[in-house]
Amino acid sequence: MDIYPAVDIRNGRCVRLMQGDFAREEVFSDDPLAVAEAWFDEGAPLIHVVDLDGAREGGRANAAVVEAMAGRGIPVQVGGGIRSYEDVRSLLDSGARRVVIGTVAVEDPCLRRRLLGEFGERVVVGLDCRDGRVSTRGWLRQEQLRARDLANTVMEEGGRHVLVTDISRDGTLQGPNVELLGEVLETGAAVIASGGVGSVEHLRILARLAAGNPDLKGVIVGRALYVGTLEYELASEIVREELQCWRNE
């Protein structure tokens, strides 16, 4: 299980939102590219980048910044405002390692199947959840679809990776939703966890889960890294040690 630092971009700046609320924004840098480079230099195997303007309004408002990251060889997983085949193709061609689709994965099943069939593991389906149900349109619209059901569909259609975010915990530092993660892991999908990680103990909880289920591939950490409750290199070392410990038992 790897740790992926989050770089969320709004109006060209690196920010964090509380529980996906655009009115509760905290700015951490005016230079998202420099932030991504810094995490990469610290050893992050992948940077999770979200275009928040795109997620809310559609379109790729911060495309130039994202493509500059990929162009410099920074390994990025990109989401937010990706609504078409051309968006996905362009990002992958620019050097992005993976592209996350959320709204379009729910609203356009035909396109979802096409993307998963053509690009396979390079397309990640985002399961942004409130009470176990998927939200779309920058977390502003609540769907009736349950996260585990969409994960099952992704697997049936040839996909592999899903990004599971508990919106109610995002930015709160109150801990991950282990129950939700367990439900989705039962589908056999490769899971990336997101939402609520704020301490070493939270990482230990996820490492224990990953030791028993190697399909938990990674965890996205945002606010904790920016406010200093977690330090990237130390956090990565603790996860490695915890995994080793639990796998040896």
51 in active site: no
8 in active site: yes
Q: Is 100 exposed, middle or buried (0-12, 13-18, 19+ CB in 10 A)?
A: buried
- End-to-end CA separation in angstroms for the chain: 18
Q: In b/e form, how buried is each residue of 132-158, taking b as 16+ CB within 10 angstroms? A: bbbbbbbbeeebebbbbbbbbbbbeee
Distance CA 121, CA 24 (A): 33
Distance CA 2, CA 33 (A): 21
Residue 56 exposure: Cα atoms within 13 Å on the Cβ side = 14
Q: Which helix (H) or strand (E) holds 190?
A: strand 190-194
Of the candidates 8, 53, 87, 170, the residue annotated as catalytic is 8
What are the CA-CA distances from residue 177 to residues 107, 169, 201 (Å)?
25, 8, 14
Of the candidates 51, 53, 87, 128, the residue annotated as catalytic is 128
**Residues with a known catalytic role:** 8, 128
